[in-house]
Amino acid sequence: MSNCNLPFDIDLDYDKQHIWHPYTSMTAPIPCYPVESANGCLISLQSGETLIDGMSSWWACLFGYNVKELNEAATDQLSKMSHIMFGGLTHQPAVDLAKTLVEITPTGLNKVFFSDSGSVAVEVAMKMALQYWQSLGKAKTKFIALKKGYHGDTFAAMSVTDPDGSMHELYQDFVTKNIFTKQPSIAFEQSWQESAMDDLTRLLKDNHTQVAALILEPIVQGAGGMHFYHPNYLKAARALCDEYGVLLIADEIATGFGRTGKLFACEHANISPDILCLGKAITGGYMSFAATLATTQVATTISEGKAGVFMHGPTFMGNALACAVANANLKKLLTTDWQQLVSTLSEQLQNRLNRCKTLSNVNSVRVLGAIGVVELNQAVNMVEIQKQFVDLGVWIRPFGKLIYLMPPYIASEQQINTLCDAIYQVCKNMD
């Protein structure tokens, strides 16, 4: 008889045989480390080790784990209701959250659509763009996206994720064919050249009559390669969309809520999109939740079109428990000197990771806000390198050629040093 119901006794054999983890083979699964608890920036394993978290649980836990204010918000909301259908009903946590999002996001994003994950937020944004043009009687059904971009694992999101060499390459025969422009060529701190817009300008000029929207990750291309590009690209893209009558969708699921040093990455270019996608850190990593914001023009046009409504409605839309926790998380963020926290993290990451540049197997080191990246010359053996990091007392999950950090904002100087030193040590071992 299995003893997996005993406290903190995780049945790893059952997990290995029956649970499909992300991007993992069921016939040759990579090792999973059993977690007993997490608090602050520390992850406690069942085996007794304590790891410093460098990932913020895939970029979601702004203030780490077991946050007092978020725990209290969840407990309080549970005593009232955890969920109620959002069709024909509403509740104060949703109203409060919508009000905050409208106030803090770029100007003009006045309509808020809640959903239950980042990928769905992208699906919603793309459906909004399609229905917008349908309502105007125009057959604009294509999207332009950036090479090396990533927007999620659902079908529409896959269709705007780089089809060449990406994790979604297997599905290219099944997803809608969209148009891809070259990856922004000028890095965040390089000198700007107008020629960087030539490819996007050409594609919009040739295809704007059939393009519903340009979708991009502002400033930081995340899972597609952790590429930091120049704010002027974003500013010029906004101007081109206006010139050619194309909507702009900003996917800030990874970059939102301060991660790049601005509350939203669009602020680096002082632009506002027509549609904005938010997720990940919105609830501080407590539960899956997302929002898609749109301008009044987009929402009104859709609402006055053939259907008269926007045709989407997830079962857990506007989940009361998630809204309550999101409210507590954003209140904590906005009442904390998050700019100083991120600025300090940025300086620490830059100073401590820079010595990796001395290693021959390191191609580059880059930092933006609370994001630190070491790019190697060759892809790493993820299983092997993961174990080395665990042995060094840190949780860092690389992919491809990239070893990166997105620590919680509350990480101490000592914790950041330990994370960075672990990266240096592991890279040195491979050198």
Cβ neighbour number for residue 255 with a 10 Å cutoff: 28
79 burial type by CB count under 10 A (0-12 exposed, 13-18 middle, 19+ buried): exposed
Distance CA 169, CA 416 (A): 35
Give just the sign of the alpha carbon dihedral 14, 18, 24, 26: positive
280 is catalytic: yes
Strands lying side by side in the sheet with 211-216: 109-115, 290-295, 275-278, 247-251, 211-216, 142-146, 179-181
- Active-site pick, 9, 23, 99, 206: 23
CB-CB contact of 382 with 426 (8 Å) = no
CA Rg value for the chain: 22
Using alpha carbons, list the distances in angstroms from residue 315 to 66, 263, 309, 310.
Answer: 27, 29, 17, 15
Distance CA 397, CA 56 (A): 11
Strands lying side by side in the sheet with 402-405: 362-368, 371-376, 402-405
Distance CA 64, CA 423 (A): 21
Side chain identity at 123, as an amino acid letter?
E
Question: In the beta sheet, which residues pair with residue 45?
Answer: 35
CB-CB contact of 227 with 368 (8 Å) = no
Distance CA 415, CA 274 (A): 39
- Active-site pick, 142, 262, 280, 401: 280
Q: Is 140 left (phi over 0), alpha (psi -120 to 50) or beta?
A: beta
23 is catalytic: yes
Using alpha carbons, list the distances in angstroms from residue 356 to 201, 228, 360, 375, 426.
Answer: 38, 19, 9, 10, 10
* Strand 394-395 relative to strand 220-221, pairing: unpaired
233 is catalytic: no
Side chain identity at 385, as an amino acid letter?
I
Side chain identity at 248, as an amino acid letter?
L
**Per the structure block, which two tokens stand in for 101?**
């999002």
150 is catalytic: yes
- Active-site pick, 53, 116, 162, 251: 251
- Active-site pick, 111, 132, 142, 150: 150
- CB proximity list for 119: less than 8 A, separation 6 or greater: 151, 152, 153, 154, 157
Which residue's structure tokens are 């946050």? 67
Residues marked active site are found at 23, 150, 251, 280
